[in-house]
Amino acid sequence: MKLDSHVAVITGASSGIGRAIALALAAQGVSVYLIGRSEKKLFAIADSIKGGQKVITCQADLTQDQDVRRVCEDIKRQFNKVDILIHSIGTIALGSMDAAPLTDFDLQLAVNVKVPYMLTKGLLPLIISSQGQIVFMNSSSGARSAQAQLGQYAATKHALKAIADSLREEVNSDGVRVLSVYPGRTATSMQEAIYRMEERDYHPERLLQPDDIASMVIAALSLPGTAEVTDIHIRPMVKNG
């Protein structure tokens, strides 16, 4: 499937995996709507995109319901279609059951679960109309297992998997594909912060690179309409003990 006439909405587009996917889609000629908290970073990404496709940046805090509604209305006004929706926004906090504050849990539930749910719900009519595709960026350490100190985070990622699986059953008959991606440790600023919290040395060269994830996502999105990839598990080649 050629993507060059498509419109893609990407959350978490200002850095990390979201940024890499945004640039990879733009390189395919896709018009992109980039959502992030840092207006400066979004502008820098937009300036680096070459080609005739449309590039829109949107600074927003998607944990605020009014911002989600504003974003949905702006997308309808700018494009009135959505072919690809990429959920790359995410946050993590470590902590044991007895020590982790509930405010951390509230934030992770908001960012990792409610935001993708609300944004998908708001844009779903446009996605169904385009027989589009939705990608949920999940986590290999969160959705597949629940390690010590990761109970809150894992709960949100299990919930995100449930949302994606249920949605797939609902919209496949409309021609909409739903993909969950489960990356292992990836060289991003969030991963660097996790290593600091774990008091471990950070070696980004040993980890997955954001461009690795973007390449896999582009390949899945480009499949013919007769096929669907539902889950991608990808991990670093080098064991980071």
- The contacts of residue 51 (CB under 8 Å, 6+ apart) are 26, 29
* Spatial separation of the C-alpha atoms in residues 46 and 58, rounded to whole Å: 11
- Which pLDDT belongs to residue 52? 84
H helix count then E strand count, the chain: 9, 7
Residue 233 has which token pair? 């598990």
| 140, amino acid identity | S
What length does the chain have?
241
Q: Which alpha helices (H) appear in 53-198, and where do they start and end? A: 65-78, 102-109, 115-130, 140-143, 151-171, 189-197
- Which pLDDT belongs to residue 198? 81
Strands 7-10 and 231-234, bridge-based pairing: unpaired
In a structure prediction context, what are the per-residue pLDDT tens digits for the chain, which is 241 residues long? 899 999 999 999 999 999 999 999 999 999 999 999 999 999 999 999 988 899 999 999 999 999 999 999 999 999 999 999 999 999 999 899 999 999 999 999 999 999 999 999 999 999 999 999 999 999 987 666 788 888 999 999 999 999 999 999 999 999 999 999 999 888 888 888 888 878 889 898 989 999 999 999 999 999 999 999 999 999 998 665 4
Entry pTM: 0.93
Residue 66 has which token pair? 């009014």
Domains identified in the chain and CATH numbers: 7-184+214-226 (3.40.50.720)
Sign of the C-alpha dihedral computed for residues 207, 184, 64 and 6 taken in this order: positive
Q: Is residue 182 a contact partner of residue 139, using CB atoms and an 8 Å limit?
A: yes
Q: Is residue 226 a contact partner of residue 205, using CB atoms and an 8 Å limit?
A: no
CA distances from 234 to 55, 165, 185, 200, 216 (A): 29, 19, 9, 22, 9
- Which pLDDT belongs to residue 239? 61
